[in-house]
Homo-oligomer: A and B are copies of this chain.
């Protein structure tokens, strides 16, 4: 039994096929499966049941994919993981509805997992809290598109909600299903928040500095969408008055030549060493995460896999 078996069991051959085929298309795409791996690693750390962790991991992976399906409608994103998005391949109605269905199918996996009633209740609680916070994060992200005054602090709050809480939620759920103490649940959650913020900063960097064949998205989509990422906000802070004015102008335009816009923005970022600065910020979060992990009173050897995963996510190319 693996993740894909669980996914197929809940989609394959189901009717109406117009609803279930887009779901299968999305969740069966090869992905990093970061969220299930985090549930599994947390359950390993706290000696939880691996089969139970597999179902909870499936739930979070489905939740994550549900958010991608809906986000892609809102962002009008044509490509994800190198393939057409549901919204583009089918249409936005199908994408709304299959996303809605997938969110429910995610919860069903928590009901399918074999666990004590109270632990299940707590997993559902963190799952729903996470899911609601991700909506809040996405709303802040949408707000930022039309806002002229986004601070770095606001940006960090947004990515904490949109990205970090889900990684943290996976780790906490892994701890809950393993019967870890309330204190350990909170510690691993805190670890996940820092990891998640670093993960998102890395994602922001990859938008510009990845091998885009490997990354699976078009280069500079954040710039095309005028997303106020940490890169942009840091650049605004460090820019000369001329650069500041140019950045503002570039990020206010909707049309024009995209390649020209991209190369102008990248030139400013390079002159300000934005890549190096954001990498340093991300490294700071990773260090925090790792020292939080140290605080858990378990042998260091048990934490190796989680540490390795943390560093992998930091050095990833896609």
User: Which residues of A121-138 are within 8 A (CB) of B?
Assistant: 121, 124-125, 128, 131-132, 135-136, 138
Minimum Cβ distance to chain B for residue A232 (Å): 20
Q: Which of B96, B107, B131 contacts A128 (CB 8 A)?
A: B107
User: How far apart sit A143 and B21, CA to CA, in the bound complex (Å)?
Assistant: 14
A18 within 8 A of B: yes
A6 within 8 A of B: no
A317 within 8 A of B: no
User: How far apart sit A123 and B132, CA to CA, in the bound complex (Å)?
Assistant: 20
User: Which residues of A34-82 are within 8 A (CB) of B?
Assistant: 70, 73-74
Q: Are B132 and A104 in contact (CB under 8 A)?
A: yes
User: How far apart sit A132 and B99, CA to CA, in the bound complex (Å)?
Assistant: 11
Q: Are B108 and A128 in contact (CB under 8 A)?
A: yes
Q: Which of B97, B103, B139, B140 contacts A139 (CB 8 A)?
A: B97
A227 within 8 A of B: no
A101 within 8 A of B: yes
**Assembly stoichiometry (copies):** 2
Report the count of interface residues on A (CB-CB < 8 A).
Answer: 36
A117 within 8 A of B: yes
A118 within 8 A of B: yes
Which residues of B sit under 8 angstroms from A135, Cβ to Cβ? 19, 97, 100-101, 104
Q: Which of B101, B117, B124, B140 contacts A16 (CB 8 A)?
A: B140
Name 18 interchain pairs, CB-CB below 8 A, sorted by A.
Answer: A15-B136, A18-B143, A70-B97, A70-B100, A74-B96, A92-B92, A97-B135, A97-B138, A97-B142, A100-B100, A100-B135, A104-B131, A104-B132, A104-B135, A107-B107, A108-B128, A111-B124, A117-B121
Interface residues, chain A, with chain B CB atoms under 8 Å away: 15-16, 18-19, 70, 73-74, 92-93, 96-97, 99-101, 103-105, 107-108, 111, 117-118, 120-121, 124-125, 128, 131-132, 135-136, 138-140, 142-143
Q: A73-B96, A104-B135 are in contact. List 6 more A-B contacts (CB 8 A).
A: A18-B139, A70-B100, A100-B100, A100-B103, A103-B103, A117-B121
